[in-house]
Amino acid sequence: MRWRKSTYSSGGDGDTCVEIAALPTRVAIRDSKAPTRATLSFPTPAFTALVDHLKAGDPAPPLG
């Protein structure tokens, strides 16, 4: 997988952020401070909807 960090990554070495990797039908997410630990993955449309929602400045959608 090809991982990339957010442009909003902060800190001296940029390790206080999440990283994402685009897969054929999903987006994988991992903690940049612990890249060898478990990852999460979401269907691409769900991840895109979440990012769009956050960019709009709306609070996070309810879970469930």
Kindly report the pTM of this predicted structure. Answer: 0.71
Q: In this structure, is residue 21 part of a structural domain?
A: yes
Q: What is the pLDDT along the chain (64 residues), one digit of tens a residue?
A: 899 987 766 666 655 688 999 999 999 999 888 888 999 999 999 999 888 887 888 766 666 5
Query: Does residue 62 sit within a domain?
Result: no
Q: Which of 34, 58, 20, 19 is nearest to 50 (CA)?
A: 58
| Domain extent at residue 28 | 4-55
If you compute the radius of gyration of the chain from its CA atoms, what whole number of angstroms results?
A: 13
Domain membership flag for residue 35: yes
Domain assignment present for residue 17? The answer is yes
Domains in the chain: how many in total?
1
* Structure-block tokens of residue 39: 């990852």
Q: 40: which strand partners?
A: 29
| Domain-embedded: residue 25 | yes
Decide if 64 is inside a domain: no
Note whether residue 41 is domain-resident. Answer: yes
Asked whether the beta carbons of 10 and 17 are under 8 A apart, the reply is yes
Collect all residues with Cβ–Cβ distance below 8 Å to 57 and sequence separation of at least 6: none
